[in-house]
Amino acid sequence: MDPEIPSAARAYDYLLGGGHNFAADRELAEKIKVVQPGVVRIAQQNRAFLRRAVLFMLDAGVRQFLDLGSGIPTVGNVHEIAQTAAPDVRVVYVDYDPVAVAHSELLLAGNDNADIVDADITRPDDVLEAESTRRLLDLDQPVGLLAVTIGHYIPAEADPAGLFARYRDVLAPGSYLALTHLTDDFTAIRGEQIVHTMKSSRNNVFPRTRKEVLELFTGYELVEPGLVTTSSWRPGSGPSDVQDTGQDGLYAGVGRRL
């Protein structure tokens, strides 16, 4: 690991108020703040969607989760949300950022129902054949597949739709996919500038249109309200500070495996 090369996972940690980041990561995050005003709120809305999606899946009977590109542990991790509601829930996190993996290992020490797999999510066999995955997940039963802010790091030449299909095909019917994905469909989002800014990191980004994001849900039936922005997906009855959902910057949705 070269601490001089910023990482998206560590910059995201900084935006959420975490402390597991280096000077290069903070510098990148500050540049993104200039390029994209409101990026902190975008990160917060994304994290809030993750919580709502996990709770939705728990209500649907899901008791095991595979979290692709899980990032650095912060408040409201999947296993904390899920195991508070159902202590027997099993969670497998996947990331290849060394800081994310190291802190996840520390956080999960002593938790027999959760583990981290050090792997690149674009190599599905490495993820699915990992010892922790095989030990904790029963793929004959419904799984909650989480792909939150990970799809837009997959370049077109890696075939994002085919990659998502590879994970889908091993899931039992009744499984769910929850994802968020950066888009520049909205005028409030400065996609080209974000892409240019991220080129200094190890993680380039590839915003996609609504149609392209929908392709990632092939083989799933979207649950209501369909593919919307993060703050618009089942926000509940509480107050909201959202005036323009286009400022969310991310499409969000949950689909049920057919």
**Domain residue ranges of the chain, discontinuous segments joined by +:** 8-257
Stretch 39-65: mean pLDDT: 95
Q: List the one residue out of 254, 47, 51 whose CA is nearest residue 145.
A: 254
Whether 74 shows a pLDDT value over 80: the answer reads no
Lowest mean pLDDT among 43-47, 72-76, 181-185: 72-76
> Regarding beta strands 220-222 and 250-257, do their DSSP bridges make them parallel or antiparallel, or are they unpaired?
antiparallel
Q: How far apart (Å, rounded) are the C-alpha atoms in residues 143 and 189?
A: 33
Q: How far apart (Å, rounded) are the C-alpha atoms in residues 47 and 92?
A: 18
Tell me the pLDDT band of 225, cut-offs 50, 70 and 90: very high
In this predicted structure, what is the pLDDT of residue 242? 53
Q: How far apart (Å, rounded) are the C-alpha atoms in residues 240 and 231?
A: 8
Q: To which H or E segment does residue 255 belong?
A: strand 250-257
Stretch 35-50: mean pLDDT: 91
Stretch 46-63: mean pLDDT: 96
Q: Nearest 10 degrees: CA dihedral of 133, 134, 136, 142?
A: 90
More confident residue, 8 or 120: 120
Spell out the residues 6+ positions from residue 74 whose beta carbon is closer than 8 angstroms to its own: 13, 16, 17, 18, 47
In this predicted structure, what is the pLDDT of residue 239? 42
Q: Distances from the Cα of 121 to the Cαs of 69, 71, 158, in angstroms?
A: 7, 12, 11
Percent over 70 (pLDDT), the chain: 95
CB 241 within 8 A of CB 191: no
In this predicted structure, what is the pLDDT of residue 230? 96
Bridge partners of residue 139, in order along the sequence: none
Q: How far out from the chain centre does Cα 9 lie?
A: 10
More confident residue, 22 or 240: 22
CATH topology of domain 8-257: Rossmann fold (3.40.50)
Whether 170 shows a pLDDT value over 60: the answer reads yes
Whether 204 shows a pLDDT value over 80: the answer reads yes
In this predicted structure, what is the pLDDT of residue 222? 98
Tell me the pLDDT band of 241, cut-offs 50, 70 and 90: low
Bridge partners of residue 66, in order along the sequence: 92, 145
Q: How far apart (Å, rounded) are the C-alpha atoms in residues 231 and 41?
A: 10
